Amino acid sequence: MVGLILAFIFLTPRAWFRDQPKPKSVVMLPAEHGAHVFWIEADLLTDTAEGQRSVRAQQLIRSQSEGKKHRLVRLEPIFDAEQEIRGFMAFARLESKQ
């Protein structure tokens, strides 16, 4: 009986349990000239009203930017071949201290 339990534990594929590590939902991408580009997973903004997406995106960026204050400049949806939203590209700049 113990052998069967151990075989089940060690021989069962991980995909059966769906315990794969989940990547971050907001990721900073490399950019040029002082700009900052963030990838935001679609699930984080599609349930938000279209007029409120910029506000929510700004909150997500600030929570992921390690204490740096970013100001959202532009938010663009990214579509796949079937015209479904796959995510959002958020373009931001650091707020200047005044």
pLDDT digits over 5-53, tens only?
Answer: 999 988 888 777 766 666 668 888 877 776 789 999 988 888 888 889 9
Residue 53 is assigned to a structural domain of this protein = yes
Which residues constitute the domain of residue 61?
Answer: 21-94
The pTM score is 0.66
Q: Count up the domains in the chain and report the number.
A: 1
71: Cβ contacts below 8 Å, ≥ 6 apart: 58, 92, 93, 94, 95
Report d(CA 50, CA 67) in Å as an integer: 26
Residue 32 is assigned to a structural domain of this protein = yes
Encoded amino acid at 8, one letter: F
Residue 88 is assigned to a structural domain of this protein = yes
Helix (H, G, I), strand (E, B) or coil at 70: strand
